[in-house]
Chains A and B, each alone.
Chain A
Amino acid sequence: GENVEQHPSTLSVQEGDSAVIKCTYSDSASNYFPWYKQELGKGPQLIIDIRSNVGEKKDQRIAVTLNKTAKHFSLHITETQPEDSAVYFCAASNRYGANSKLTFGKGITLSVRP
């Protein structure tokens, strides 16, 4: 089965700086890679996703890049703000697999220092 790993488990950046969060996956058949943001005491919310037929996707201050050869994908947040502080989860799935389900990483806690 799929195995998704996130490193490190915590990341601290200064407000205004960029943050990059990396994930690796094991199943070369995976072709859908979403990122979720979870604020304290709330459920995770989808913030951006990418499919394997593209290498990069951008939405305002956030972007996701995918390297299929190396089997890793990254979340990039530019001009970080205190409200970006949260736990970020990456995930992977094979959207063509029977009853495809997302496999999540363990999450990374991002702290943006004002």
Chain B
Amino acid sequence: SQTIHQWPATLVQPVGSPLSLECTVEGTSNPNLYWYRQAAGRGLQLLFYSVGIGQISSEVPQNLSASRPQDRQFILSSKKLLLSDSGFYLCAWATGNFNEKLFFGSGTQLSVL
């Protein structure tokens, strides 16, 4: 069966520090991978998605970047965090012809202080 791992679960970082969140998927190959951000009281905002190794699409201009060095690995990064980067970050994967069903990781609660 497929599983998705996301870590760390919580992270407190000072403003201006770098960020690296990692997500890996097991039990499937060539998945579409996604990074979402969920701010308090707001919906799910798609940040990046990837259809293959090295292929990254950005949905919104921001202080973050994403990379996909391996088929089932997706990394969210920042060189210098801003206060506004605080939020709940979710990795997700989808597969199949139409990539309909999204399966989410357990999320990372990031607090930038």
Contact = CB atoms under 8 A, between A and B. Distances in A.
A106 B104 contact: no
B51 A99 contact: yes
A107 B101 CA distance: 18
Interface in A63-114: 89, 93, 95-96, 99-102, 104-107
Nearest to A4: B43
A101 B47 CA distance: 12
Interface residues of B, number: 21
A14 to B, nearest CB: 25
A96 B100 CA distance: 10
B44 A32 contact: no
A4 B47 CA distance: 17
Band of interface residues on A = 20 to 34
Contacts of B90: 43-44
B103 A46 contact: yes
Contacts of B43: 89, 104-107
Contacts of A101: 46, 49
A100 B103 contact: no
B105 A43 contact: yes
Contacts of A89: 43-44
Interface of B: 6, 42-44, 46, 49, 51, 57, 90, 92, 98-107, 109
Interface of A: 32, 34, 36, 41-46, 49, 89, 93, 95-96, 99-102, 104-107
